[in-house]
C-alpha cells in the first residue's frame, strides 16, 4: 500500500500520477498467462505426436497386426527385451522378435499376451529425436492362469517426412 498526495492509502499498483498503469500491468499479466498456456498446449501437442507411434505399436502387438506394429517403427530398429536372445536389430527385427517371443511363450507355457500403457513418466523432445519412458502392464496367461506384471518401456523416436517413428525400444519388468 502507498499513500497518495492526499495521504490516503492506495493499493500498490495504482499511482494517481499514472492512472493507466493498472490497465497496462493487467495487459502484461494477461499476455504472460497467454504465452504460458500457449506453450503448454504446444508441449502437450508435441507429446501427443511423439506418443502416437508408441500407441500404434502396442495396438498392433495387442491385435496381432504385425504390419500395424511395423508401420510405427523405422526400418532399422533396435529392440531389447527380457527373453533370449535379448536383442534384435535391422529391418527384420520386429518379425524376428515376434518369432522369438512365440518360441519363448511355447517353452514357458504362456499365451494371450497384451500390453497396456500407463501415463508416460518422461517425454523429452530434442529437435528430431525423442526419449520416452512409459510404465506398462503386461497381461498374459501362464498355463491358463491370468498373470499381470508391471513393467516399463524406454523408447527413442525419430521424426522425418513420415512423422514420428520408433527407432529403438527396451522392455524391463518392475
Residue 10 lies in a domain: no
Number of domains in the chain: 1
What pLDDT score does 59 carry?
Answer: 98
CATH of the domain at 59: 3.10.450.50
Task: Look at residues 129, 128, 149, 152 and name the one whose alpha carbon lies nearest to residue 138.
Answer: 149
Domain residue limits at 44? 28-173
Residue 128 lies in a domain: yes
Cβ neighbours for 160, distance < 8 A, ≥ 6 positions apart: 128
Express each pLDDT in 34-57 by its tens digit: 454 454 444 458 899 999 999 999
C-alpha cell at 37: 498456456
pTM for the full predicted model: 0.75
Amino acid at each position: 500500500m502507498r499513500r497518495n498526495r492526499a495521504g490516503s492509502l492506495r493499493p500498490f499498483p495504482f499511482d494517481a500520477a499514472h492512472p493507466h498503469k493498472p490497465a497496462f500491468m493487467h495487459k502484461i499479466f494477461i499476455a504472460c498467462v497467454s504465452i504460458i498456456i500457449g506453450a503448454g498446449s504446444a508441449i502437450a501437442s508435441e507429446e501427443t505426436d511423439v506418443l502416437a507411434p508408441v500407441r500404434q505399436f502396442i495396438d498392433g502387438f495387442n491385435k496381432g497386426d504385425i504390419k500395424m506394429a511395423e508401420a510405427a517403427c523405422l526400418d532399422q530398429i533396435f529392440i531389447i527385451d527380457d527373453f533370449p536372445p535379448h536383442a534384435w536389430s535391422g529391418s527384420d527385427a520386429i518379425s524376428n522378435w515376434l518369432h522369438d517371443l512365440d518360441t519363448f511363450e511355447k517353452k514357458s507355457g504362456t499365451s494371450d499376451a497384451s500390453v497396456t500403457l500407463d501415463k508416460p513418466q518422461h517425454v523429452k523432445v530434442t529437435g528430431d529425436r525423442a526419449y520416452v519412458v512409459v510404465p506398462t502392464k503386461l497381461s498374459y496367461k501362464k498355463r491358463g492362469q491370468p498373470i499381470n506384471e508391471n513393467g516399463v518401456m524406454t523408447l527413442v523416436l525419430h521424426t522425418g517426412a513420415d512423422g514420428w517413428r520408433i527407432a529403438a525400444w527396451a522392455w524391463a519388468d518392475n
